[in-house]
C-alpha cells in the first residue's frame, strides 16, 4: 500500500538515491542534498518538512521538494524511479500538497517530461526559449550603422542616479495585465546581486531622452543578455538589433567565448531579432503550474 510521508533521518537514504538521478528527468532539478548538508540544524528541520516521499513498505517511488515564495510555492525538485515515472504516481504525490495553493515547477523540455507533467495535472504557465551565440562566429558591428535614426547612442547606467529611469523603461516595455510593475527597490536589489555587471547595464538614448535599456548579467561566469527593450514609439528603426549588437560587443571585449539570451516563446518579434543577430536555439524551459 502506498503512503506519503515527510523526509526524516530514517528515510533520508531513499532520497539520496533519487537525488543522484534527478537530472535524468529535469536538468533544472535542484540539489536537495547540497542545500541540506550546508544548512544549520534548525534549517535542516525546516527542509525536511518541505519534502514529500511516495513509498510502499519496501521502497521509495519518488519525491518532491518545494519552498514557499511570496504568492506561490516553487517545486525545487521532483523525481521518481524510472519504473514509477508515471502520471498516476506523480499525481498521487501532488494531491497531498497544500490545498487552495499554486505550485510552480521549472522544467527543461527533454521530449517526454512535459507530457508526463501535463497528464499529472500541471498546466503550462509559460515557455521560455534559451538561445546562444558562439562569439568566435560573431563579427563586431558598429551599432550606430544599424539604426535608421540620427542622434541615437548608448550609455552606461549611473548607479544611485538612474535607477528610476531604468524602472520606468522596463515597466513600459514589458507591461502586461498580469505583470507586477517593478519598483526602484527592485532595481537597487538587482544591482546588489552577484550576477550584476555594472558595465553591462546600458541605456539607449535619443539625444537627452532615454528610449531603451538592455543588460548583461553573469550566471556562473556565463554572460546572459536580459531585459532588452525599446519604447514602443521607437520600434521598427533597427534600434533593438543595434542594442543587442552593442551588448555583444561588450561581451566580446570582456573575452567571453559564448553569450546567452532568453525569450518568451510567444514573442516572435524578439525571436526573429535574436536570430538576425546570430543567436541559435539551445533549449526550451517551461514553467509548469498546478492549482491544488
d(CA 212, CA 232): 9
Q: What is the pLDDT of residues 217-258, one digit of tens each?
A: 999 899 999 999 999 999 988 899 999 999 999 999 999 999
Residue 138 has pLDDT above 70, yes or no: no
**Structural domain spans, the chain:** 3-121, 131-284
Helical ranges in the chain per DSSP H:
12-20, 32-37, 41-49, 87-94, 113-119, 163-173, 184-191, 239-253, 268-276
Per-residue pLDDT band for 179 (boundaries 50, 70, 90) equals confident
Compute the C-alpha angle 171/227/234, nearest 5°: 65
Do the two domains 3-121 and 131-284 of this chain adopt the same fold? yes
Predicted pLDDT of residue 140 = 58
Query: pTM of the predicted model, to two decimals?
Result: 0.79
- If pLDDT is split at 50, 70 and 90, which confidence band does 142 have? very low
Write the CA distances from 142 to 117, 155, 210, 226, 247, integer angstroms. 46, 15, 20, 21, 11
- H helices within 198-256, ranges in order? 239-253
Domain 131-284 in CATH 3.40.720.10? The answer is no
Structurally, what CATH architecture does the domain formed by 3-121 represent? 3-Layer(aba) Sandwich (3.40)
pLDDT at 146 over 80: no
For 54-97, what is each residue's pLDDT tens digit?
999 889 999 999 999 888 999 999 999 999 999 999 999 999 99
Over residues 97-118, the pLDDT tens digits come to: 999 999 999 999 999 999 999 9
Closest CA to 113 of 89, 131, 87: 87
Other Cβ atoms within 10 Å of 219 Cβ, number:
11
Amino acid at each position: 500500500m502506498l503512503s506519503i510521508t515527510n523526509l526524516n533521518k530514517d528515510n533520508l537514504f531513499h532520497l539520496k538515491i533519487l537525488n543522484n538521478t534527478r537530472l535524468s528527468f529535469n536538468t533544472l532539478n535542484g540539489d536537495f542534498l547540497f542545500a541540506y548538508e550546508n544548512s544549520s540544524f534548525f534549517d535542516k528541520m525546516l527542509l525536511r518538512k518541505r519534502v514529500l516521499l511516495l513509498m510502499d513498505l519496501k521502497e521509495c517511488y519518488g519525491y518532491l521538494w518545494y519552498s514557499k515564495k511570496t504568492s506561490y510555492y516553487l517545486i525545487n525538485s521532483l523525481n521518481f524511479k524510472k519504473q514509477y515515472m508515471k502520471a498516476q504516481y506523480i499525481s498521487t504525490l501532488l494531491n497531498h500538497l497544500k490545498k487552495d495553493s499554486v505550485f510552480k515547477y521549472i522544467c527543461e523540455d527533454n521530449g517526454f517530461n512535459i507530457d508526463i507533467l501535463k497528464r499529472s495535472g500541471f498546466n503550462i504557465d509559460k515557455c521560455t526559449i534559451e538561445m546562444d551565440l558562439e562569439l568566435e562566429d560573431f563579427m563586431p558591428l558598429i551599432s550606430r550603422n544599424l539604426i535608421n535614426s540620427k542622434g541615437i547612442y548608448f550609455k552606461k547606467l549611473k548607479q544611485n542616479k538612474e535607477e528610476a529611469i531604468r524602472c520606468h523603461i522596463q515597466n513600459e516595455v514589458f507591461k502586461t495585465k498580469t505583470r507586477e510593475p517593478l519598483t526602484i527597490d527592485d532595481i537597487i536589489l538587482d544591482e546588489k546581486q552577484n550576477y550584476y555587471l555594472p558595465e553591462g547595464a546600458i541605456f539607449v538614448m535619443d539625444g537627452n531622452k532615454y528610449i531603451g535599456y538592455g543588460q548583461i548579467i553573469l550566471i556562473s561566469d556565463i554572460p546572459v543578455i536580459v531585459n532588452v527593450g525599446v519604447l514602443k514609439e521607437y520600434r521598427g528603426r533597427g534600434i533593438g538589433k543595434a542594442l543587442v549588437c552593442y551588448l555583444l560587443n561588450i561581451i566580446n571585449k570582456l573575452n567571453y567565448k559564448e553569450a546567452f539570451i532568453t525569450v518568451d516563446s510567444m514573442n516572435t518579434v524578439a525571436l526573429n531579432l535574436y536570430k538576425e543577430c546570430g543567436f541559435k536555439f539551445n533549449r526550451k524551459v517551461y514553467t509548469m503550474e498546478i492549482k491544488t
